[in-house]
């Protein structure tokens, strides 16, 4: 009699088990990658307003600048500052201030195009990237948004709370970087504040 031949059934269970384990590990890896991607995306979102935070907004601004450089598209950055918002927090509390911020964010999103980008870049400051506009059109849109925000109001107890906004505009220029653009739009915003107060606009002195 010859030697007994190994039975396939004795070999295949171990191979099958290895393959099953590999598939399980692949599924776990896919789930882990999806979770990491979700966490990375959430890291760019403001937890209160559910819009881009400063990090996420600056990332989008960098992408916008690359698009402008590559395709010659016209776009502009708006810097939105809520006038006297600290006084609202001091008088009515931060909870009321948060409700007002949410209302302002909703109005900003509702009055720009889906392709435009809205983010929170400071405590009471928003940024808006508007596409396919020349600077005069962007300024006109900024004035429209100031009017929209002025109509925002919330009820707090027996009080009606509203807020005004000053919006500065800076065109996206090839060769600029996000920090320079935000600084330029911020300066334009302060000039707008002075204009609204009836004061001479601030002047930047060069060499």
Give pLDDT, residue 196. Answer: 87
Query: Residue 50 catalytic?
Result: no
Angle between the 135-150 and 94-110 helix axes, to the nearest 10 degrees?
A: 140
Say yes or no: domain 54-196 is CATH 3.30.70.270.
yes
Q: What pTM does this model have?
A: 0.78
Residue tagged active-site, from 44, 124, 180, 186: 124
Give pLDDT, residue 199. Answer: 55
Taking Cα atoms as reference points, which of 160, 153, 188, 164 lies closest to residue 85?
A: 164
Vertex 19 angle, CA 17 and 21, to 5°: 70
Q: Got the DSSP string for 78-118?
A: EEEEEETHHHHHHHH-HHHHHHHHHHHHHHHHHTS-TTSEE
More confident residue, 70 or 7: 70
> Whole-angstrom Cα distance, residue 93 to residue 129?
30
What average pLDDT score do residues 46-55 get? 97
Q: What percent of the chain has pLDDT over 90?
A: 72
3-class secondary structure, 120 = strand
Give pLDDT, residue 94. Answer: 95
Give pLDDT, residue 206. Answer: 32
Q: Where are the domains of the chain?
A: 1-43, 54-196
Vertex 37 angle, CA 34 and 38, to 5°: 85
């Amino acid at each position: 009699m010859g030697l007994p031949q190994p039975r396939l059934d004795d070999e295949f269970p171990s191979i099958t088990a290895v393959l099953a384990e590999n598939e399980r590990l692949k599924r776990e890896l896919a789930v882990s990658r999806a979770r990491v991607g979700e966490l990375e995306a959430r890291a760019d979102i403001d937890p209160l307003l559910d819009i881009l935070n400063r990090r996420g907004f600056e990332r989008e601004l960098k992408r916008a600048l690359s698009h402008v450089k590559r395709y010659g598209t016209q776009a502009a950055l708006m810097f939105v500052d809520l006038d006297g918002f600290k006084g609202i927090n001091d008088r009515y509390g931060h909870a009321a201030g948060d409700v007002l911020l949410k209302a302002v964010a909703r109005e900003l999103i509702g009055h720009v195009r889906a392709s435009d980008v809205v983010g929170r870049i400071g405590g009471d400051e928003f940024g808006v990237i508007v596409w396919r506009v020349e600077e005069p059109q962007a300024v006109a849109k900024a004035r429209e948004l100031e009017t929209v925000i002025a109509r925002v109001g919330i009820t707090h107890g027996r009080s009606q709370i509203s807020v005004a906004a000053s919006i500065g505009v800076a065109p996206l220029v090839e060769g600029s970087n996000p920090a320079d653009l935000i600084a330029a739009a911020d300066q334009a915003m302060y000039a707008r504040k002075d204009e609204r107060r009836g004061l001479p606009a601030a002047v930047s002195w060069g060499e």
